[in-house]
């Protein structure tokens, strides 16, 4: 664990600390060397860590088994850190940027533009696929990169449209590569890994957890200039991604639909709150062209 990036990968997997702590540590000690030479008591005192947290961190810093596990994963997967040149320029601009990303596939897509996040409900209406063919399909044919979360419903449809037209797509997962979720998307995972890029902030052996999905949503929105919501219910988890996109200064687009369907209520609320109403691809292209021509 000599290099800065290796120390960062190691710290990212240590217990007792948060991403926020590691971000602060990087500012205090850009080499991340000092903490390896401190005692448990010194760590607790110097960084104001509770004793239990300092004990967990100290143990993991000097855990040979953990180091060997990390080296094993480094041989099997591409691991990108925030200090690497290959790190996404877009992600580097957001608050709470991911420190470490595990990747399978074409990592050059991390720097690709234009990119659009396409998200929505896991239980789309019968109209959803036609909305996506109308709006997303032409963007894919114009070489836009589609980013989504490989969940059931809208996410899966977005990836499949990109793959079906030999387009570019990135999937951001809520768990490690050894625990693909949902299981019905294992085949889709392999297709994206072969023809696009799959990312996860979580080490390969970490299963998905409920709180992982709101966390990974900041990466989905952060990778693109804007987020397109195809369908969302009034209390949809999709709204978390929209909030994060707005906090990141990204554009938010929403597709309207029949008021009969509960899947359109979230989109209508977003439009009332200022999201751009999208009826055709040009509504998104205009925003992109206006931004690049500023």
144-189 pLDDT, tens digit each:
999 999 999 999 999 999 999 999 999 999 999 999 999 999 999 9
Which tokens in the block code for residue 204? 């390969």
5-59: per-residue pLDDT in tens?
A: 999 999 999 999 999 999 999 999 999 999 999 999 999 999 999 999 999 999 9
- The pLDDT assigned to 33 comes to 94
Supply φ then ψ for residue 257, to 5 degrees.
-165, -170
3-state secondary structure of 48: coil
Which tokens in the block code for residue 48? 């104001």
Residues 57 and 158 in one domain: no
Residues 71 and 118 in one domain: no
State the Cα–Cα distance between residues 261 and 60, nearest whole angstrom: 50
CATH classification at residue 263: 3.40.50.450
Q: For residues 83 and 193, is the Cβ–Cβ distance under 8 A?
A: no
Sort 258 into a burial class: Cβ within 10 Å, 0-12 / 13-18 / 19+. Answer: exposed
DSSP code of 207?
Answer: P
Residues 132 and 273 in one domain: yes
Q: Is 56 a domain residue?
A: yes
270-283: per-residue pLDDT in tens?
A: 999 999 999 999 99
Element (H, E) at 31: none
State the Cα–Cα distance between residues 89 and 99, nearest whole angstrom: 13
Q: Is 150 a domain residue?
A: yes
Domain with 27, as residue range(s), is 4-76
270 closest CA partner among 224, 228, 221: 228
Q: Is 95 a domain residue?
A: no
- The pLDDT confidence band at residue 2, using thresholds 50, 70 and 90, is low
Task: Provide the number of structural domains found in the chain.
Answer: 2
- Round the average pLDDT of the chain to a whole number and report it: 95
* Cis amide linkage into residue 160, ω under 30° from 0: no
Q: Is 85 a domain residue?
A: no
State the Cα–Cα distance between residues 286 and 255, nearest whole angstrom: 16
State the Cα–Cα distance between residues 53 and 119, nearest whole angstrom: 36
Q: Is 34 a domain residue?
A: yes
Sort 265 into a burial class: Cβ within 10 Å, 0-12 / 13-18 / 19+. Answer: middle
Each as own residue / partner, the long-range contacts of residues 1-8 (CB below 8 Å, 24 or more positions apart, any chain) are 1/36, 1/67, 1/70, 4/30, 4/31, 4/32, 4/83, 5/81, 5/83, 5/84, 6/70, 7/31, 7/32, 7/33, 7/36, 8/32, 8/81, 8/82, 8/83, 8/99, 8/100
Q: Is 177 a domain residue?
A: yes
* DSSP codes joined into one string, 130-147: HHHHHHHHHHHHTT-EEE
266 conformational bin, left if phi > 0, alpha if psi -120 to 50, beta if neither: alpha
Which tokens in the block code for residue 114? 């234009």
Q: What is the pTM of this model?
A: 0.95
Q: For residue 1, is pLDDT > 50? A: no
Q: For residues 83 and 4, is the Cβ–Cβ distance under 8 A?
A: yes
Residues 171 and 232 in one domain: yes
Q: Is 97 a domain residue?
A: no
- The pLDDT confidence band at residue 294, using thresholds 50, 70 and 90, is low
46-105: per-residue pLDDT in tens?
A: 999 999 999 999 999 999 999 999 999 999 999 999 999 999 999 999 989 999 999 999
- Residue that terminates a domain, selected from 60, 76, 92: 76
Q: For residue 293, is pLDDT > 90? A: no
- Residue that terminates a domain, selected from 57, 76, 95: 76
Q: Is 98 a domain residue?
A: no
- The pLDDT assigned to 156 comes to 97
Torsion of CA 96, 273, 220, 114, to 10 degrees: -110
């Amino acid at each position: 664990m000599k290099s800065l990036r290796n120390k960062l990968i190691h710290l990212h997997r240590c217990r007792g600390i948060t991403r926020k702590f590691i971000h602060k540590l990087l500012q205090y000690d850009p080499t991340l060397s000092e903490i390896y030479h401190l005692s448990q008591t010194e760590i607790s005192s110097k960084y104001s860590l509770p004793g239990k947290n300092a004990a967990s961190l100290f143990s993991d810093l000097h855990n040979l088994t953990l180091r060997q596990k990390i080296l094993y994963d480094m041989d099997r997967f591409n691991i990108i850190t925030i200090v690497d040149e290959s790190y996404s320029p877009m992600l580097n601009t957001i608050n709470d940027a991911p420190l470490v990303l595990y990747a399978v596939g074409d990592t050059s897509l991390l720097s690709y533009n234009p990119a659009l996040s396409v998200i929505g409900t896991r239980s789309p209406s019968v109209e959803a696929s036609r909305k996506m063919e109308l709006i997303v399909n032409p963007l894919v044919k114009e070489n836009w990169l589609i980013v989504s979360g490989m969940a059931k419903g809208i996410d899966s449809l977005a990836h499949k449209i990109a793959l079906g037209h030999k387009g570019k797509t990135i999937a951001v997962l809520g768990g490690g590569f050894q625990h693909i979720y949902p299981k019905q998307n294992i085949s889709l995972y392999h297709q994206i890994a072969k023809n696009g890029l799959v990312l996860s902030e979580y080490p390969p052996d970490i299963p998905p957890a409920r709180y992982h999905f709101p966390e990974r949503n900041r990466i989905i929105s952060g990778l693109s200039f804007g987020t397109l919501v195809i369908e969302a219910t009034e209390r949809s988890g999709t709204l978390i991604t929209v909030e994060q996109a707005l906090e990141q200064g990204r554009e938010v687009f929403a597709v309207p639909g029949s008021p009969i369907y509960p899947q359109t209520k979230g989109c209508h609320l977003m439009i009332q709150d200022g999201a751009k109403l999208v009826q055709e691809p040009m509504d998104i292209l205009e925003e992109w062209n206006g931004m690049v021509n500023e």
